[in-house]
Amino acid sequence: MYLIVGLGNPGEEYAHTRHNAGFDAVDAIAGEVGARYWKTECGSLTAKGAYRDVDLVLAKPQSYMNTSGGPVKQLMNAYGVDAEHLIVIHDELDIDPGTVRVKFGGGHAGHNGLRSICDKLGTRDWSRVRVGIGRPPGRMPVVDWVLSLPKKEAADDFAYAVDRGAQAALSLVTAGLEKTQQAYN
């Protein structure tokens, strides 16, 4: 079993913003695996499905980005999932818009959702699917950038990266890290 967590902020005002790339990717996975029933458990919206005979729990923590670690840890405990079977999909400022990078382990690079997960799990060793959103233009504050909706061609790049992030997460489940990195990085 794999736990695939998309990071984002709950609430309509944050829907489809750059910071909610993880939520959008998990929704895409749910569509792919036919997971239609969402319920609230362990501080997250969860849905279950299977991909090529591998059971999946899909999750969107509802505690806001900065405190995502608590719900992730609760879900891992509830489902008996270890860190090697955790995949977290999140937005990444340091990657160009429209691109995806996959890695195992590493730091949080200032991403508060990742910091919270690292702190709560006591490890950094889990898979990450990083959806590129790029840096804000000019002197725009980062917070305004990540909480804004992509417009025009940026919206196309964002949608492409979100879909690619969803496919990369499913590839991790079936093909493993090395083959997924070769295909997506």
Catalytic residue among 16, 19, 85, 111: 19
What mean pLDDT is predicted for residues 114-119? 95
Residue 113 to residue 69: CA distance in whole angstroms: 7
pLDDT over 90 (residue 110): no
pLDDT at position 17 is 96
Tell me whether residue 64 is annotated as binding.
yes
Tell me whether residue 66 is annotated as binding.
yes
Tell me whether residue 112 is annotated as binding.
yes
What mean pLDDT is predicted for residues 156-169? 97
Q: Hey, what domains does the chain have and what are their CATH numbers? A: 2-184 (3.40.50.1470)
> Terminal CA-to-CA distance of the chain, rounded, Å?
24
Round the average pLDDT of the chain to a whole number and report it: 96
Percent of the chain residues past pLDDT 90, beyond the cut: 95
How many degrees, rounded to 5, is the angle at CA 44 between CA 40 and CA 49? 75
Q: Where are the beta strands (DSSP E) in 64-182?
A: 86-92, 100-104, 127-132
Element (H, E) at 112: helix 112-121
Q: Is 90 a catalytic residue?
A: no
